[in-house]
C-alpha cells in the first residue's frame, strides 16, 4: 500500500498511550514509505501522526473542508493540502487517494469515517482493507456491538470479518497487506451498478 487514510481524534485523549501509538504509526509509515492521507488538522492524534511523518521526510496529504480552514486547525506544513466544499466531498477525495484505511482512537468523526469505509466495502464499491488499531482496547465495545449485529441478524459474518483488528501496528499492516475482499453479492452488485 502506497497511501493509507488514518481516521483518528482531533484530541489526544486523557491517556498518553494514544499519542504514543500515533507517533509509532507515523514512524512506521515513514520507515515503509507509506504516505499519510488524513483530515488535514494539526491538532490531536492526527497532528501527532502528521508531525512524526513530516519530521522523517515522509508524505502527508491533508483533505479538509473549507469550513475547517481556520489557521489554528489546518496543518500548514503538510506536503499537500486539498480543500473541499463539503464534508461529504472530503470523504470521496480521501477514498480516491488511498489504498486502505486505519482507524485509531477518536470521536464521532472517526466512527463516521470508519463505518463509511466499511459500508463501501460491504457494497463492493471498494475492495480496500479497513483496519482498527485497537490501542488500549479502545474499540472493544464497538467490536462487541458489531458482534451483536451479527448475532441479531443485521450484519453478515462475512461483512463483520472485513474489519481487520489488532493492537500491534506490524500485525495490522500485515493483515491489511494480505486482505482479500469477500465475494460480491449479486443483489448488492445490481444495486451498486444502478
3 state SS for the chain = CCEEEEECCCCCCCCCHHHHHHHHHHHHHHHCCCEEEECCECCHHHHHHHHHHHHCCCCEEEEEEHHHCCCCCECCCCCEEEEECCHHHHHHHHHHHCCEEEECCCCHHHHHHHHHHHHHHHCCCCCCCEEEECHHHCCHHHHHHHHHHHHCCCCCHHHHCCEEEECCHHHHHHHHHCCCCCCCCHHHHHHHHC
Cα 46 to Cα 22, 74, 143, distances in angstroms? 8, 11, 22
- Digit-coded pLDDT (tens) for 21-50: 999 999 999 999 999 999 998 999 999 999
Residue 187 confidence class, pLDDT cut points 50, 70, 90: very low
* Mean pLDDT calculated for residue range 58-82: 86
- Digit-coded pLDDT (tens) for 114-162: 999 999 999 999 999 999 999 999 999 999 999 999 999 999 999 999 9
* Mean pLDDT calculated for residue range 8-32: 97
Residue 70 confidence class, pLDDT cut points 50, 70, 90: low
Measured between its terminal Cα atoms, the distance across the chain in Å is 30
CA distance 47 to 42: 4
| Cross-strand pairs, 166 | 133
Q: Going by C-beta distance under 8 Å and a sequence separation of 6 or more, which residues neighbour residue 85?
A: 65, 66
Question: By the 8 A CB rule, do 89 and 63 touch?
Answer: no
Domain extents in the chain: 3-193
Pick the CATH number of 3-193 from 3.10.450.50, 3.40.50.450, 3.20.20.140, 3.40.50.1820: 3.40.50.450
Amino acid at each position: 500500500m502506497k497511501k493509507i487514510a488514518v481516521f483518528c481524534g482531533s484530541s489526544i485523549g486523557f491517556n498518553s498511550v494514544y499519542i504514543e501509538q500515533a507517533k509509532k504509526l507515523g514512524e512506521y509509515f515513514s520507515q515503509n514509505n507509506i504516505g499519510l492521507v488524513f483530515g488535514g488538522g494539526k491538532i490531536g492524534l492526527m497532528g501527532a501522526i502528521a508531525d512524526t511523518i513530516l519530521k522523517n521526510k515522509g508524505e502527508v496529504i491533508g483533505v479538509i473542508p473549507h469550513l475547517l480552514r481556520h489557521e489554528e486547525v489546518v496543518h500548514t506544513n503538510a506536503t499537500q493540502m486539498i480543500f473541499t466544499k463539503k464534508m461529504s466531498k472530503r470523504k470521496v477525495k480521501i477514498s480516491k487517494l488511498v489504498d486502505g484505511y486505519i482507524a485509531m482512537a477518536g470521536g464521532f468523526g472517526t466512527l463516521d469515517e470508519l463505518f463509511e469505509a466499511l459500508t463501501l466495502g460491504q457494497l463492493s464499491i471498494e475492495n480496500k482493507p479497513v483496519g482498527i488499531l485497537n490501542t488500549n482496547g479502545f474499540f472493544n465495545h464497538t467490536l462487541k456491538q458489531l458482534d451483536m449485529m451479527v448475532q441479531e441478524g443485521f450484519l453478515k459474518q462475512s461483512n463483520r470479518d472485513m474489519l481487520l483488528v489488532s493492537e500491534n501496528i506490524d500485525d495490522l499492516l500485515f493483515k491489511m497487506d494480505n486482505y482479500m475482499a469477500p465475494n460480491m453479492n449479486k443483489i448488492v452488485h445490481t444495486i451498486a451498478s444502478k
